[in-house]
């Protein structure tokens, strides 16, 4: 059973104020914004290192954007996340692959969790990729191989050639 709407709006407003302070940015918490679900917020992380693949090399990017989507069942249900900027990570899909973030790795979600604790968890995930639990996309599995085996160059993915059988 979801929270009563007025209590949910009050809670979201307070949590988003905490996020705004932490992120040093402004998030819209108007009644119109919080009145319809799902509620979506674009979050920008600054000075947070995360891996990106450019020109065949893995480099570090320090500015990232993602969208947090909060359902009417919040806080009983954790938010979902869609990544918006390029990166090379086993647990975060590229935007063109859907941008999904593996929030099961942020499994300590409970009624007492907050959006700020969720954002901090995403920051931690970004900085410490878990190559043992990648998404199934090719970019995520390549990133998992890179982080699991500590290679200095990206693995070269070559398609398997079909076998020709002649009779």
Residue 131 and residue 90 in contact, taking contact as beta carbons nearer than 8 Å: yes
DSSP 2: P
Which tens digits make up the pLDDT trace of 123-144? 999 998 988 889 889 999 999 9
**Which CATH number is 46's domain given?**
3.10.110.10
Residue 164 lies in a domain: no
Rounded to whole angstroms, the Cα distance separating 31 from 97 reads 33
pLDDT value of residue 154: 43
Domain that includes residue 129, residue range: 5-149
Give the total number of structural domains in the chain: 1
SS3 144: helix
Residue 64 within any structural domain of the chain:
yes
- Enumerate residues 6+ apart whose C-beta is below 8 A from 21: none
Amino acid 163: pLDDT: 58
**13 φ/ψ angles, rounded to the nearest 5 degrees:** -60, -45
CB within 8 A of 163, min separation 6: which ones?
none
pLDDT at 91: 94
Residue range 76-89: mean pLDDT, rounded: 94
pLDDT in tens, 38-50: 999 999 999 999 9
> Is 127 in contact with 49 (CB distance < 8 Å)?
yes
Tell me whether residue 155 is in a domain: no
């Amino acid at each position: 059973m979801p929270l009563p709407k007025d209590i949910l709006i009050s809670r979201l407003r307070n949590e988003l104020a905490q996020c705004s302070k932490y992120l040093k940015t402004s998030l819209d918490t108007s009644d119109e914004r919080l009145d319809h679900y799902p509620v979506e917020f674009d979050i920008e992380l600054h000075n947070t290192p995360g891996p990106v693949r450019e020109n065949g090399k893995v480099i570090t990017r320090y500015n990232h954007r993602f969208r947090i989507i909060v359902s009417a069942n919040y806080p009983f249900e954790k938010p979902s996340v869609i990544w918006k900027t390029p990166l090379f990570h086993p647990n975060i899909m590229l935007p063109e692959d859907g941008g999904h973030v593996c929030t099961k790795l942020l499994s300590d979600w409970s009624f007492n969790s907050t959006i700020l604790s969720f954002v901090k968890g995403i920051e931690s995930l970004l900085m410490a990729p878990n190559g043992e639990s990648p998404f199934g996309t090719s970019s995520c599995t390549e990133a998992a191989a890179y982080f699991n085996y500590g290679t200095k160059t990206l693995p070269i993915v070559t398609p398997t050639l079909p076998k020709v059988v002649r009779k």
